[in-house]
Amino acid sequence: MAYRVPTVVPMAVDTRTDRRPSSYAGILWHSTVGKKTAMAVSGIVMLLYLVAHMLGNLKIFFGAAEFDGYAHWLRTIGEPFLHHEWFLWIARVVLLAAVVVHAVAAYQLSRRDIAARPQKYAHKKKRASYATRTMRWGGVILGLFIVWHILDLTTLTVNPHAAAGHPYANVVATFSTWYGNVIYIVAMLALGLHIRHGFWSAAQTLGANRPGRDRTLKAIANLLALVLTLGFIAVPVSVMTGVVS
Ligand code: HEM
């Protein structure tokens, strides 16, 4: 039998090979389970931050000196090993990375979900489940809230008081406006729903759920969502009722 010379395919034409990820991290990120894992891990990073942030916010009940002193201390963590505010900047970079990974993975997963829908549903406009829709809209609301919140209490661009180094007075000013209360309370309710379902999803993705343990995990998710929502909402409610002024 005559030997046949194999056809040579130029690399540039083999586009599928060009797009294939070459590293383990790349392969993981391209897989659905990899994106879900990235969402779960980035979600947990943000959740840990939120627990610390909520506890820190409650210092407002001990007066302006303690709250402002706490905000000042946040800028000195790690000194003299770290330079002034370096810890804060490291935390900001980690949080920003978590938000970006979480949002990009969520967007790509929902695109994949729509593309994978069976043809017979394409013309029927089959709607995503209630939980999925709540998570998508909740995520968008929280993304917009974070932008507003940074403009309000970090850069002070939209804060009615805007006194750098005086977060207590700035927080009181925010919750002395009707729109400040509406924006924060709506966002905190969205946050509670997001954490309730998100924590449970993350536990499933990371394989923490086992028969008999599901009820405990759901109870933890409900408790976390309730404590964080009430803890955050306590601040605007106290300003509105005059407990904090
Ligand atoms: C009633 C609710 C809240 C109040 C009163 C509040 C208050 C504050 C204050 C005073 C700061 C500035 C701290 C400082 O510069 O020393 C801050 C920063 C921040 N808050 Fe909140 N917060 C609330 C809810 C939230 C929520 C729900 C999130 C996330 C979803 C969040 C995310 C952040 C982030 C990421 C920063 C850091 C911004 C930066 O310095 O780069 N906050 N918050």
Which CATH number belongs to the domain containing residue 88 in this structure? 1.20.1300.10
In a domain, 2, yes or no: no
Tokens 């590293």 appear where? 23
Q: Please work out, in degrees rounded to the nearest 5, the angle formed at the alpha carbon of residue 59 by the alpha carbons of 191 and 63.
A: 130
- Give the position, in ligand 1's atom list, of the atom nearest the Cα of 187: 27
pLDDT at position 217 is 94
- Ligand 1 centroid to 37 CA: how many Å? 26
pTM, 2 dp: 0.89
pLDDT at position 14 is 40
- Output the residue whose Cα is nearest ligand 1's atom 6: 57
In a domain, 121, yes or no: no
- Ligand 1 centroid to 54 CA: how many Å? 9
pLDDT at position 129 is 87
pLDDT at position 225 is 98
Domains in the chain, number: 1
- Report the alpha-carbon distance of residue 93 to residue 96 in Å, rounded: 5
Q: Which residues line ligand 1 (CB under 6 A)?
A: 50, 53, 57, 71, 74, 92, 95, 142, 146, 149-150, 153-154, 167, 171, 184, 191, 232, 235-236
b/e map 146-162, b = 16+ CB within 10 Å:
eeebeebbeebeebeee
Q: Walk along the chain (245 residues) in steps of 10 and give the mean pLDDT of each run.
A: 50 48 87 96 98 98 98 97 98 98 96 78 67 94 98 98 98 98 98 97 91 91 98 98 97
Range of the domain at 167: 32-115+130-240
pLDDT at position 122 is 57
